[in-house]
Amino acid sequence: MHNVLCVGDVFKALADPTRRAILDELADRNGQTLFEICSRLAAKHGLGSSRQAISQHLDVLEAAGLVEASREGRYKFHYINTAPLEPIVERWLKKTGKDDGGRVGTGAGTRREEST
Amino acid sequence: MRINLASVLVDDQEKALRFYTEVLGFAEKTNVPLGEHRWITVVSPQDPDGTQLVLEPDEHPAVKPFKKALVADGIPFTSFAVDDVRAEYERLRGLGVRFTQEPADMGPVTTAVLDDTCGNLIQIARQTGG
């Protein structure tokens, strides 16, 4: 039951484009202050969200386990955590890989994914 | 009207003077007693007659929580212009300066954020375009 709820939270968290952009930026450089995240969203994604709005997005990502906030001295940094995405891979992608491992269709699909 | 002074609120004026001169590389312009503290200003050696930065005591009770909240969220109190953010980052890191944001391209500017050891974060920036 707990797992099911978690996966639901993960999908809900990923459903928002601003939250996906936050994860993109944390994947680019892990361990960012709120200020750096806000700066990147404004400068690189043209997002005009307020600091409070970004902070709330981070809360949603944290609740889903996709972001971890850690206090280091007087500073607070945010880190991406991809562990909650693993059940998704286990559930569909790995199973598909095992069954259709050597087939042409799967390979072509994989290449297409990589090129986007 | 013109802007001749800007302030940073520091927890210790002597420590601040050392950091802003010996580490950041500004030059002492004024240093005179004033009341129970001192009136200390520094200037950029590249612009000795330009805007002076006042190293002002942060004694007012409202200041400390304000500074603490800004630091926790990584928000710089002010920003200084540099010719090369990455080179300056390397130089300052070599002097033991703590950065809360490594150099990053933010559209038309490259920025980094450092701790001034006096309770403030300071941004260094170079305008790269538009």
Same-domain pairing of A14 and A47: yes
Q: How many CB atoms lie within 10 A of CB A55?
A: 14
Smallest Cβ–Cβ distance between A35 and the set B74, B102, B109 belongs to B74
Domain boundaries, chain B: 5-127
Does A74 contact B75 at a Cβ distance shorter than 8 Å?
A: no
User: What's the CATH fold of domain B5-127?
Assistant: 2,3-Dihydroxybiphenyl 1,2-Dioxygenase; domain 1 (3.10.180)
Same-domain pairing of A57 and A93: no
Shortest Cα–Cα distance, B75 to chain A (Å): 5
Same-domain pairing of A58 and A94: no
Put simply, the chain A residues between 78 and 107 with a CB less than 8 A from any chain B CB are none
Same-domain pairing of A51 and A108: no
User: Chain B residues with CB inside 8 Å of A43's CB?
Assistant: 105-109
Same-domain pairing of A50 and A29: yes
What pLDDT digit, counting tens, does each position of A75-99 carry?
A: 999 999 999 999 888 888 876 655 5
Q: How many CB atoms lie within 10 A of CB A41?
A: 21
Put simply, the chain A residues between 30 and 89 with a CB less than 8 A from any chain B CB are 32-36, 39-40, 42-44, 51, 74-76
Residue A34 structural domain: 2-81
Kindly state the DSSP code that residue B24 receives in the 8-state scheme.
T
Does B113 contact A76 at a Cβ distance shorter than 8 Å?
A: no
Same-domain pairing of A75 and A109: no
Smallest Cβ–Cβ distance between A43 and the set B73, B74, B107 belongs to B107
Share of chain A above pLDDT 90, in %: 65
Contact A50, A38 (CB under 8 A): no
Put simply, the chain B residues between 105 and 124 with a CB less than 8 A from any chain A CB are 105-109, 111, 113
Put simply, the chain B residues between 6 and 65 with a CB less than 8 A from any chain A CB are none
Same-domain pairing of A71 and A26: yes
Same-domain pairing of A30 and A51: yes
Does A33 contact B113 at a Cβ distance shorter than 8 Å?
A: yes
> How many CB contacts within 8 angstroms connect chain A with chain B?
49
Same-domain pairing of A66 and A94: no
For residue A37, give every residue at least 6 positions away whose Cβ sits within 8 Å of its Cβ, in sequence order, or none. Answer: A22, A25, A26, A54, A58, A78
CATH of the domain at A25: 1.10.10.10
Does A43 contact B109 at a Cβ distance shorter than 8 Å?
A: yes
pLDDT reported for residue A114:
39
How many Cα atoms are found within 13 Å in the side-chain-facing hemisphere of A50?
A: 3
pLDDT in tens, chain B (130 residues): 999 999 999 999 999 999 999 999 999 999 999 999 999 999 999 999 999 999 999 999 999 999 999 999 999 999 999 999 999 999 999 999 999 999 999 989 999 999 999 999 999 999 987 5
Same-domain pairing of A72 and A107: no
CA distances from A4 to A10, A23, B32, B38, B40 (A): 10, 22, 67, 63, 61
Same-domain pairing of A30 and A55: yes
Structure confidence at residue A6 as a pLDDT band (50, 70, 90): confident
What pLDDT digit, counting tens, does each position of A51-64 carry?
A: 999 999 999 999 99
Share of chain A above pLDDT 70, in %: 77
Tell me which amino acid residue B51 is: T
Confirm or reject contact between B68 and chain A (CB < 8 A): yes
Same-domain pairing of A15 and A31: yes
Q: Give the total number of structural domains in chain A.
A: 2
